[in-house]
């Protein structure tokens, strides 16, 4: 499920898109006469009869694209041969939105099959725009519904990336949310955090790592801004979960969920991460899942004990706030750093996060990278350097985007 994106954009960012524009989302294909290229899209009378209007009062069948595919000969695709019909239902006269909003659906589906190693688990996938919808989208199995106002946002350049994220979000629920789904509302991040993360994965596969990183960074920022004012703070495992309340669908479950899954991926590495995802999905196919299932799959795939990781990032709330003071001793060319974790002390936020990361130190002669691991509320680190440091960068690869770092000038 997706929250209403445009509403949250207005509320959180005063009209600016929360997601950066991506230059890669170009205009829809056009015919020489300037009309949208609808080749390959079925028009009424070309396909099966329209749905009974009594059954689907909001769905007006007009266009339906059927995308035939057989990837059995595609190298590395790891997909079963076959075809998945893709359907797009829009209002009469609005067919032009189909190539603009939905043209990458097939590519996203292929990307998800490749990374998870699991073919799309159903026999078709339809996307239908609907009026007066309370959410941005809803991942009904094989029949996703999307708010028309959200989808038509793709008519504007600044809205194209947001709509692609919406389309990839709902599609990813076919694996995370439909094929396996959380056993209880407290672990909704297993559906929504993963769908949020998979938006970034679709970007990575379609547009490259920079687009992925921009999305992860944006998610982290949204969560951290919200965490400062959130009166119902909770961990990803949400002990306050109340299915009768909209509060389930918050930036913790979505954006923090997506960012923490990214951090897990970076910590155990791509190979182990996707191997673990494959095992997790396969083992629990068409069944319910809990946090323990995810942890077990990831521990088996990586060979690492992830108890501490899940304790601080899944069961704990908040994120680390680091303040760094620097002392430079010219005689011995020693840099002494005192790193203090200053996140608020309460019952749900870890007193000290364990943070394995790289520290990049620049001097006049160049940059050196030192692996460090912060574990305590106050940590003192010393480094011998060839000259006075000019710049420090904690976690330059952004493996742990959920953190703030304040660095005091060198003393
Ligand atoms: Zn969702």
Dihedral of the alpha carbons of 105, 106, 109, 114, in degrees to the nearest 10: -140
What separation in Å is there between the alpha carbon of 393 and the centre of ligand 1?
A: 34
Token pair listed for 156? 């504007």
Global pTM value: 0.83
CA dihedral (228, 229, 230, 233) in degrees, to 10, reads 40
- What are the backbone angles phi and psi of residue 122, rounded to the nearest 5°? -125, 180
154 CB contacts (<8 Å, ≥6 apart)?
A: 97, 100, 101, 160, 163, 164
The alpha carbon of 1 and the centre of ligand 1 are apart by a number of angstroms equal to 3
Q: How far is the CA of 362 from the centre of ligand 1 (A)?
A: 42
**Quick one: which of 98, 36, 97, 35 has its CA closest to 64?**
98
376: three-class secondary structure by DSSP:
coil
> Domain residues of the chain, as ranges?
5-175, 185-315, 321-410
- What is the Å distance from ligand 1's center to 10 Cα? 19
CA–centroid distance, 263 to ligand 1, in Å, is 20
The CATH number corresponding to 321-410 among 1.10.3720.10, 2.60.40.1840, 3.40.50.10860, 3.40.50.970 equals 2.60.40.1840
CA of 116 to the centre of ligand 1 (A): 18
Tens of pLDDT, residue by residue, the chain (411 residues): 886 544 333 233 322 222 222 223 333 334 444 444 444 333 333 344 444 333 332 333 333 343 433 333 333 333 333 578 888 888 888 888 888 999 899 899 999 999 999 999 998 899 999 988 888 999 999 999 999 999 999 999 999 999 999 999 999 999 999 999 999 999 999 999 999 999 999 999 999 999 999 999 999 999 999 999 998 999 999 988 888 777 788 999 999 999 999 999 999 999 999 999 999 999 999 999 999 999 999 999 999 999 999 999 999 999 999 999 999 999 999 999 999 999 999 999 999 999 999 999 999 999 999 999 999 999 999 999 999 999 999 999 999 999 999 999 988
Angle, CA 180 vertex, CA 175 and CA 186 arms, to 5°: 120
CA of 323 to the centre of ligand 1 (A): 35
Distance from the alpha carbon of residue 51 to the mean position of ligand 1, in angstroms: 25
Cα distances (Å, whole numbers) of residue 100 to 29, 76, 164, 246, 334: 8, 29, 9, 31, 57
Output the CA 135–ligand 1 centroid distance in Å. 10
Residues 6+ away with beta carbon under 8 Å from 209? none
Could you tell me the distance, in angstroms and rounded to a whole number, from the CA of residue 76 to the centre of ligand 1?
A: 28
CATH architecture of 185-315: Orthogonal Bundle (1.10)
Q: Report how far ligand 1's centroid is from the alpha carbon of 392 (Å).
A: 38
Q: How far is the CA of 194 from the centre of ligand 1 (A)?
A: 8
d(CA 406, ligand 1 centre) in Å: 34
Cα of 339 to ligand 1 centre, how many Å? 37
Is 88 in contact with 126 (CB distance < 8 Å)?
yes
Tell me the residue ranges of DSSP E strands in 12-120: 41-43, 63-65, 86-89
Q: How far is the CA of 97 from the centre of ligand 1 (A)?
A: 22
Distance CA 191, CA 1 (A): 9
Query: Rounded to 5 degrees, what are φ and ψ at 409?
Result: -60, 160
Tell me the CA–centroid distance for residue 240 and ligand 1, in Å: 19
**195 CA from centroid of ligand 1 (Å):** 6
191 alpha carbon – ligand 1 mean position (Å): 7
Strand partners, 361: 368, 392
Q: How far is the CA of 8 from the centre of ligand 1 (A)?
A: 14
Query: What CATH class has 5-175?
Result: alpha beta
Output the CA 20–ligand 1 centroid distance in Å: 20
Cα–ligand 1 centroid distance for 187 (angstroms): 13
pLDDT number for residue 21: 25
CA of 167 to the centre of ligand 1 (A): 10
Distance 173 CA to ligand 1 centre (A): 7
**CA 355 / ligand 1 centre spacing (Å):** 29
Q: Which residues pair with 340 in a beta bridge?
A: 323, 378
How many angstroms is it from 391 CA to the middle of ligand 1? Answer: 40
Q: Separation of 177 CA from ligand 1 center, angstroms?
A: 8
- 143 CA to centre of ligand 1 in angstroms: 14
């Amino acid at each position: 499920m997706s929250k209403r994106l445009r509403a949250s954009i207005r509320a959180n960012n005063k009209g600016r898109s929360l997601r950066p524009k991506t230059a890669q989302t170009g205009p829809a294909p056009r015919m020489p006469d300037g009309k949208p290229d609808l080749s390959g899209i079925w028009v009424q009378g070309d396909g099966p009869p329209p749905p009974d209007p009594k059954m689907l009062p909001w769905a007006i069948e007009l266009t339906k694209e059927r995308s035939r595919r057989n990837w059995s000969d595609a190298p590395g695709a790891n997909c079963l041969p076959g075809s998945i019909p893709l359907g797009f239902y829009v209002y009469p006269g609005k067919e032009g939105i189909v190539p603009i909003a939905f043209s990458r659906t097939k590519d996203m589906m292929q990307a998800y099959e490749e990374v998870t190693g699991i073919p799309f688990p159903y026999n078709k996938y339809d996307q239908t725009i609907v009026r007066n919808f309370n959410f941005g989208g809803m991942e009904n199995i094989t029949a996703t519904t999307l708010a028309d106002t959200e989808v038509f946002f793709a008519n504007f350049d600044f809205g194209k990336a947001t709509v692609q994220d919406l389309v990839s979000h709902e599609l990813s629920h076919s694996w995370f949310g439909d094929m396996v789904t959380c056993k209880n509302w407290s672990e909704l991040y297993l559906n929504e955090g993963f769908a949020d993360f998979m938006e970034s994965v679709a970007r990575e596969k379609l547009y490259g790592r920079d687009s992925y990183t921009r999305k992860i960074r944006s998610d982290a920022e949204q969560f951290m801004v919200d965490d400062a004012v959130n009166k119902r703070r909770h961990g990803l495992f949400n002990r306050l979960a109340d299915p009768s309340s909209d509060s389930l669908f918050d930036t913790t479950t979505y954006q923090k969920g997506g960012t923490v899954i990214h951090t897990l991926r970076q910590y155990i590495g791509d190979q182990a991460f996707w191997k673990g995802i494959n095992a997790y999905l396969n083992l629990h196919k068409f069944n319910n899942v809990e946090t323990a299932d995810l942890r077990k799959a990831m521990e088996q795939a990586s060979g690492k004990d992830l108890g501490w990781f899940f304790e601080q990032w899944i069961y704990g709330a908040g994120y680390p706030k680091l303040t760094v003071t620097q002392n430079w001793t010219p005689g011995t060319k020693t840099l002494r750093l005192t790193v203090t974790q200053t996140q608020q002390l309460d019952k749900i936020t870890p007193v000290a996060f364990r943070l394995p990361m790289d520290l990049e130190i620049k001097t006049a002669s160049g940059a050196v990278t030192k692996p460090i691991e912060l574990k305590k509320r106050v940590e003192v680190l010393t480094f011998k350097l060839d000259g006075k440091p000019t710049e420090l960068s904690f976690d330059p690869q952004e493996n742990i985007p959920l953190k703030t770092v304040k660095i005091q000038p060198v003393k």
